[in-house]
Amino acid sequence: MTESYKTIGHLERILSEGKFVITAELTPPDSANPQEVYDEAAMLANSVDAFNATDGSGAHCHMSSISICSLLTRQGYPMVMQISCRDRNRIAIQGDVLGAAAMGVSNILCISGDDVTAGDQPEAKRVFDFDSIQLLRTIRLMRDKEMFLSGRKLTEPLKMFLGAASNPFMPPYDWRALRLAKKIEAGANFIQSQYCYDVPMLRTFMRQCGDLGLHDLVYYLVGVGPIRSVKTAEYMRTKVPGVHIPDEIVDRLRKTPQIRQREEGKRICVEIIEQVKEIEGVDGLHIMAYKQQELIPEIVEEAGLLPRPARDQGDVSSPDFQDENIH
């Protein structure tokens, strides 16, 4: 894949160079304190290649994706801004895309978003003016044709590397690779998957993608993450939309003394990474460690994935990028 998507930001550059990439979700704060964002980014900076700023994941309210991107792009960090279709209409979304590009965001992940019934404010009004495929097509139109959905022209070209989500672990399984093909056709350049705890299922899915010729059309990052305890595993697979955790993983945690379950959950994550990185068509990892983000550097190191590729000077956090009031 040598085609340029008009960005050549750090994430796109190292993927195009064939390097194994690591992205990670930041835990968005339940406050307006920017130091919480800066501290987490600094803790992970040497272990990952780009940060995902989530957009109301799980239909819960946190600091917004665009605000986190605003804080961290000024620090020189490569960002992936998530945009959920659940909460805003097409006018607001297109404006947010322009604002993100103006801040220096080079990557956008297009998702439909969890339904409001998954969160703690189920009475909230759904928007869903778009689904993720329509959102991809709209931003691709803004980037490649330099126009809004209305046909009105942009005054400056938009630079953006487009991503989408994938979940190989939920039925109908035979349809998942075809669904991915539709997202690629709509404009997806990279993919971040749901948590992988079932490696054989992932292998089957990636073979299906290969049979469809998708490996040469998109960069695929597999979602991984540590499990804190057997209680957490049961909650994730029964309450978190789209998460599949096989019985053998839960049983392994259940047989582990409670005081050691967190360490065992980390070990399971490292073992999965060691298997996943050998699968054809896998270009990297997307690490999700909600409220366990301090484990990410340990996971990356124990999986043998250090050091990370060097960033260009313009991508690296330095005193020149930092606000004078944050320390």
| 177 lies in some domain | yes
Distance CA(102)–CA(105), nearest Å, equals 7
C-beta separation of 215 from 188 below 8 A: no
Distance CA(82)–CA(166), nearest Å, equals 14
Q: How confident is the model over 65-118, as pLDDT tens digits?
A: 999 999 999 999 999 999 999 999 999 999 999 999 999 999 999 999 989 998
| 315 lies in some domain | no
232 SS3 class: helix
- CATH code for the domain of 254: 3.20.20.220
Closest by CA to 77, choosing from 36, 107, 120, is 107
Q: How confident is the model over 231-254, as pLDDT tens digits?
A: 999 999 998 888 999 999 999 999
| 318 lies in some domain | no
- Per residue in 281-291, is it b (16+ CB within 10 Å) or e — as a string? bbbbbbbbbbe
- Give percent above pLDDT 70 in the chain: 93
Distance CA(204)–CA(224), nearest Å, equals 17
- Long-range contacts of 185-188, Cβ-Cβ distance < 8 Å, separation of 24 or more: 186/133, 186/134, 186/136, 186/137, 186/140, 187/136, 187/137, 187/139, 187/140, 187/162, 188/110, 188/136, 188/162, 188/163, 188/164, 188/218
Beta bridge mates, 220: 191
User: Whose structure tokens read 């759904």?
Assistant: 126
C-beta separation of 176 from 124 below 8 A: no
Cα 143 from chain centroid (whole Å): 21
Q: How confident is the model over 167-180, as pLDDT tens digits?
A: 999 999 999 999 99
- Structural domain for 21, as ranges: 10-302
| 236 lies in some domain | yes
| 319 lies in some domain | no
| 122 lies in some domain | yes
Q: Alpha helix (H) ranges present in the chain?
A: 10-16, 34-44, 65-73, 90-103, 132-140, 173-186, 199-211, 230-239, 247-254, 261-276, 296-302
C-beta separation of 23 from 284 below 8 A: yes
pTM above 0.75, yes or no: yes
Q: How confident is the model over 113-166, as pLDDT tens digits?
A: 989 998 899 999 999 999 999 999 999 999 999 999 999 999 999 999 999 999
| 308 lies in some domain | no
| 327 lies in some domain | no
Count of structural domains within the chain: 1
